[in-house]
Amino acid sequence: MLVTAVLSGLVLGGTYALLAMGLTLQYGIARIMNLAYGELIIVAAFLSYALFTYAGISPVWALLIALPGGFVLGYAIYGLLMAPLVRRARNAASLEIDSILTTFGLLFVIQGLLLVTFGANFTSYSYLNDAVQIFGTRLAANRLLALVLAVVLGAAIYLVLTRTLWGTALRAVAVAPGSAPLVGIDVERAARMAFALGGALAAAGGVVISMYQTFTATSGVVFTMKALIIVIMGGVGNILGALSAGLLLGLAETMVATYVDPGLTLATTYGLFLAVLLWRPTGLFGRAVR
């Protein structure tokens, strides 16, 4: 029973982590608090649904379309909507307010387009809903895919950020956007890259969760909320932080649901969130703010 609970918890946490990693890049490095993040997830989910239902294209192929698609969309959103805000922002606080307001508007634009195109109905299809036996526990293949994808993408991005010059430049922008230009870093370009990368991750998350979770044109905000909790818990801008916070949440929720009461899962999420913030105000992997 314990093994089952741990494994199911990790698999649930994989979904959470996958959904949060893109936001941590966008918020941590590009410094854009993207409230329309969940809508990007839903766009990818609908893309995957439409390809699967109307064209018979497997969501695995949709993933190959969604990753570059999300990147391009993120790149375009940053270039068209965010760059002007970044240029005119006097300080970090004013950029935060402006970007929140702008992406809040973007949220409704995307939601409106989805409502017109797909309507307000519950959308769901089933793909890879097969059992995989691991240590005697039956796990859903599609959820396992989310966990594997979260770990692989998370590790890859972590390595890029820490082992390459380009990644180091991104981290420099995250830590000290004011000083980065002094060493020849093009801050705007780095931020745009991080934002686009975040878009690609959101799209990947959307495709994978569409295989097993019911969604509607207006359910993006639920994903944004969950992702935001994980991002803040893990430390803003820290990809390993998002990964571990996501896994931790999934594990905690499943443990409580199994051994205490399924009614307390929400309370567990927020209780853990509060506890982490009291113990480490900048998140599990966050740096102390000077």
Interaction of residue 204 with other proteins, rule CB under 8 A: no
**Is residue 60 involved in binding other proteins (CB under 8 A)?**
no
Among 166, 261, 270, 275, binds other proteins (CB under 8 A): 261
Contact 16, 147 (CB under 8 A): no
In the chain, the largest separation of any two C-alpha atoms, in whole Å, equals 57
Tokens (6 digits) for 65: 């379309």
Closest separation between CB of residue 194 and other proteins, Å? Answer: 28
> Contact with other proteins (CB under 8 A): which of 39, 98, 188, 253?
253
Distance from C-alpha of 160 to C-alpha of 110, rounded to nearest angstrom: 31
Are residues 171 and 183 in contact, defined by beta-carbon separation less than 8 angstroms?
no
Counting contacts by CB under 8 A, is residue 254 touching other proteins?
yes
> Binding other proteins by CB under 8 A: which of 54, 56, 91, 126?
126
Contact call for residue 217 and other proteins (CB under 8 A): yes
Under rule CB under 8 A, residue 146 binds other proteins: no
Interface region with other proteins, contact rule CB under 8 A, candidates 4-12, 27-35, 69-77, 187-195:
4-12
Cβ atoms of 172 and 166 closer than 8 Å: no
Residue 273 as a binder of other proteins (CB under 8 A): the answer is: no
Select from 152, 165, 148, 164 the least CA-distant residue to 140. 148
Q: How far is CA 262 from CA 70, 200, 230, 265, 276, in A?
A: 35, 33, 20, 6, 22
- Binding-site ranges for other proteins (CB under 8 A): 1, 4-5, 8, 12, 15, 111, 115, 119-126, 129-131, 138-140, 212-214, 216-219, 222, 250, 253-254, 257-258, 261-263, 265-266
